[in-house]
Amino acid sequence: MKRTTIQCDKCGKQISKSNYDKHINGNNCKLKLHDEIIIDPNSLQENGLYKCPHCEKEFNKMGIKSHIWSMHVEIGINMRKNIEKKPSPLKGRPSPLKGKQSPLKGKQSPLRGRIGHKYTEEEKQKQSIILKKAHSEGRHPGWAHINTDKNKRSYPEKFMIGVFERNNLYEKYTIIEKMPFSKYFLDFAFIEIKLCVEVDGKQHYITPEAIEHDRIRDEFLISQGWKIYRINWITLCNNAVEEIDELINFIDNINYSTNRFYNIDEVKWRQKIPQYKIRNNKLNQDKEIFNHKTKEEYLNIIRKEFEESQQKYVEEILNSDIDFSKFGWVNKVAKIKGITPQKVNGWMKKIMPDFYEQNCFKRNETNINSIKKIKEEIEKNKEVKKQNIEIKINLILNSNIDFSKIGWIKEVTKILNITSPKVSKWMKRNMLEFYENNCFKRKIN
């Protein structure tokens, strides 16, 4: 059977007979009038907002249409009035816990000492003494749970375990993960040859405190007869084959090899290269430049190449008919550059900083300037009022008014140009001592 439908007079949609009443009386009918509203471009103000032609209120481009439709169109007003707030289903019902006591009232919390408990200084000192003894005697449990639970290992640790298994190192040596040694923990300890293999992430060289901690740790292990082999995780991801071959050769020739460390400054600098060069597959060329030039010179070369590639966009923007002194220039520049409007301000600050500061419209700066002007006007008005008050006080004092008798208020009104009920308030505010000592006041029984 074919479904019989009815065309809605408001929105023009085809709706079934059973849902027609719900569609008209509910909120599902989206009127064409909302989309057919035309905004006058002359209503755009200097602050970037549009002025309503009916009530002269200001809205942005997204809100002006909905305001006109819901406040100044008959159908929209009626639809807005028909929307009713549904009452809460729990309104008027009593609370289920009313009149009952908490089961934990008067008892000690079961989480005391775990969550939210603040230890005293005596408790902290006891714990520190116990931990120091455990570290010195080698009794600290360390990361024993990681050795038993494989799901709690990090991805670099799982990767290194796979490397050791593929090269049959577990058959040759006894390898212990996170082995406690004094107050430190070794990532991978080869017991027979006393070798410590460490896999380092960013946290090992992101701060000078971390670098100093690792240096002291390495010196202590070397003094105890251990050999150290440190691997940077980022370089291992980029050059996995070379790094693994170097590690295996180090282990095979352990009697003739010394400690192995990576260059921290080079690793930090390498992390910034992908933003400019690795995307263009020029890593080999970067290695040659890095070997012959310093970091600052190399970055200057990259900046010059980037600025030269952006010159064609700068010429198009300068030769265009865009009015940068008004709101809306950002969307036009975004079309020329081929980026989102959110990135235009940052691009202009990098490539065209002088032009951006002098010629471009900025919404926040206009608001700040308008606020400054308002404050200056308020201060000027205060100074003018003070001067006028001083002039009026001098006129009152130099006049021949007898303030000890009835009638002085009418004569003062001629000088101040205000009504007689306001004279006493003005005198209390500006001439309080004179008013209390010299002026006649009618007594009220």
Whole-Å CA distances, 404 to 410, 428, 433: 14, 16, 14
Token pair listed for 63: 């809100």
pLDDT over 80 (residue 310):
yes
Q: What is the pLDDT of residue 35?
A: 55
What is the rounded CA–CA span in Å between residue 325 and residue 293? 44
DSSP 215-277: HHHHHHHHHTT-EEEEEEHHHHHHSHHHHHHHHHHHHHTTTT---B---HHHHHHHTTGGGTT
Token pair listed for 16: 């079934």
DSSP 380-431: HHHHHHHHHHHHHHHHHHHS---TTSTTHHHHHHHHHTS-GGGHHHHHHHH-
Whole-number average pLDDT of the chain: 76
Whole-Å CA distances, 377 to 47, 59, 372, 374: 20, 26, 9, 5
What is the rounded CA–CA span in Å between residue 56 and residue 64? 11
* Pick from 215, 243, 244, 213: nearest CA to 228: 215
The share of the chain scoring above pLDDT 90, in percent, equals 4
What is the rounded CA–CA span in Å between residue 20 and residue 191? 81
| Beta-strand runs (E) in 25-123 | 50-51, 58-59
pTM exceeding the 0.85 threshold for the entire prediction: no
- Mean pLDDT check: name the lowest of 86-90, 251-255, 418-422: 86-90
Token pair listed for 123: 């408790």
What is the rounded CA–CA span in Å between residue 100 and residue 90? 19
Q: What is the residue type of 436? A: E
Within 10 Å of residue 226's Cβ, how many Cβ atoms?
A: 18
Token pair listed for 410: 């009418």
pLDDT over 50 (residue 282):
no
Q: What is the pLDDT of residue 19?
A: 78
Q: How does pLDDT run across 380-400, given as a tens digit for each residue?
A: 888 888 898 899 888 888 888
pLDDT over 50 (residue 277):
no
What torsion, rounded to 10 degrees, do the Cα atoms 179, 185, 190, 191 define? -60
* 197 band by pLDDT with thresholds 50, 70 and 90: very high
Helix (H, G, I), strand (E, B) or coil at 5: strand
58: phi then psi, degrees, rounded to nearest 5: -110, 135
Q: What is the pLDDT of residue 229?
A: 92
What is the rounded CA–CA span in Å between residue 381 and residue 387? 10
